[in-house]
Structure 1
């Protein structure tokens, strides 16, 4: 094993908070929690540390440049109509979902609460090869020319039909077309049960369904076990 490679990654939460005001009245608050390697003692952990520090700073800039003008407009509208003054809230959190065999996987998810009370969820999945310190592409978990995308879409379609028959979820009428159009191979992460892939909020279902997520168990449809994929990556 290379000197900088890791079998697993130890992390601790790093949190940053900001508040923006208009005329000394809070109109927008933001809270960011991202993983921080503990300790960041080698090349791989330092690279991951820089990556999530950049994500933290980028999200706060997004809040200031995109959400703050919306928050100020909502504040002034409420002021003009003598309505309760709103304070919009944005938060970014993370969840580690897999951490063994030289692979570290997680997702970060933001939640933006508007003045109306409605919330927008946005998720990003990351899977890292701790041997080299680089993200792992979804295709790396399947043999070449295995038709992995077709298998994933078929699994999602089967699960959607099962949920609708059971009456536990509701999807858009044209969800089949949306599955193909909105599928993004970057939207995945590993779990103990299998490979989880997801679709953006509103992409294939109403807001009540949140972020639709589907899981392909290890060993099914040519999906390699994470440890097997890590070994294959080392030989490339």
Structure 2
């Protein structure tokens, strides 16, 4: 029997697509996602298939949703004798933890949003390399029933501190929004703690981007990622 992976070596796989109208580029899309350097294990093969699917979904989204908008903007600019626009969409990733049999990262997209402002999205993934499956957030709070309350209370404290210091601004009713828009899939591991985040616009204006809160590993109830999960 092969020993389970302690780390997952990967390399970026970059692919690009371009769509044109009347021979002129109106939309370009760049996708950079991780590809396991070795696929001998079932976990590595499963992870490779997962990000291959994410890549295909990204390009399908660009063609189905962004391309019609890009074509409409192109023809509107042509009729008004304005400079011809070219929309751009990007999908990338950042590995944040890769040790102790756990592999964690986030993927992020950037595209043109309302009035040309950038629209950002993020997705977190944390994988158990021995099983080859994502780990639910609650598994890092073994035996803790109020793990969600712990995260919400921590985020509320951080928001209060940031607003008092004048370093960030949130919506007026951010406390209700914290609960309403919490998603247990929106997390990843870092060296400093467990990071969980909210979608752009959910709890703060667009200037704040994607709000991220990092719960330190010393917090009571939070399992260290290098520790073995309970049986």
The TM-score range, normalised by the shorter chain, is over 0.9
- Residue 17 of structure 2 is matched in structure 1 by 18
Q: Is the 8 A contact 1:4 1:43 kept in 2?
A: no
Query: For 1:227, what is the secondary structure of its paired residue?
Result: coil
Instruction: Supply the distance in 2 between the matched residues of 1:173 and 1:44 (Cα, whole angstroms).
Output: 44
* 1:123 CA drift (Å): 0.1
Q: Is the 8 A contact 2:144 2:221 kept in 1?
A: no
Alignment of structure 1 residues 84-163 onto 2, 5 Å: 84-114=83-113, 116-163=115-162
Instruction: Supply the distance in 1 between the matched residues of 2:3 and 2:111 (Cα, whole angstroms).
Output: 38
* 1:227 CA drift (Å): 2.2
Residues 146-187 of structure 1 deviation map (CA, whole Å, 9 limit, x = unaligned): 301001000000000100000000000010000000000000
Instruction: Supply the distance in 2 between the matched residues of 1:199 and 1:97 (Cα, whole angstroms).
Output: 17
* 1:40 CA drift (Å): 1.5
Query: For 2:183, what is the secondary structure of its paired residue?
Result: coil
Instruction: Supply the distance in 1 between the matched residues of 2:176 and 2:77 (Cα, whole angstroms).
Output: 40
Q: Is the 8 A contact 2:87 2:112 kept in 1?
A: yes
Query: For 1:170, what is the secondary structure of its paired residue?
Result: coil
- Residue 193 of structure 2 is matched in structure 1 by 194
TM-score under structure 1 length normalisation: 0.95
Q: Is the 8 A contact 1:17 1:31 kept in 2?
A: yes
- Residue 69 of structure 1 is matched in structure 2 by 68
Q: Is the 8 A contact 1:193 1:218 kept in 2?
A: yes
TM-score under structure 2 length normalisation: 0.97
Query: For 2:74, what is the secondary structure of its paired residue?
Result: helix
Of residues 40-49 and 177-186 in structure 1, the stretch that sits farther from structure 2 once superposed is 40-49
- Residue 208 of structure 2 is matched in structure 1 by 209
Instruction: Supply the distance in 2 between the matched residues of 1:48 and 1:11 (Cα, whole angstroms).
Output: 10
- Residue 177 of structure 1 is matched in structure 2 by 176
Q: Which runs of 5+ in 2 are unaligned?
A: none
Residues 186-223 of structure 1 deviation map (CA, whole Å, 9 limit, x = unaligned): 00000011100000000000000000000111130310
Query: For 2:159, what is the secondary structure of its paired residue?
Result: helix
* 1:30 CA drift (Å): 0.1
* 1:143 CA drift (Å): 2.0
Q: Is the 8 A contact 1:13 1:35 kept in 2?
A: yes
Identify if the C-alpha distance between structure 1 residues 218 and 38 changes in structure 2 by more than 3 Å, giving closer, same or farther.
Answer: same
Runs ≥4 in structure 1, deviation > 4 angstroms?
none
Q: Is the 8 A contact 1:88 1:114 kept in 2?
A: no
Query: For 1:231, what is the secondary structure of its paired residue?
Result: coil
* 1:114 CA drift (Å): 4.8
Instruction: Supply the distance in 2 between the matched residues of 1:34 and 1:3 (Cα, whole angstroms).
Output: 27
Instruction: Supply the distance in 2 between the matched residues of 1:11 and 1:20 (Cα, whole angstroms).
Output: 29
Q: Is the 8 A contact 1:86 1:115 kept in 2?
A: no
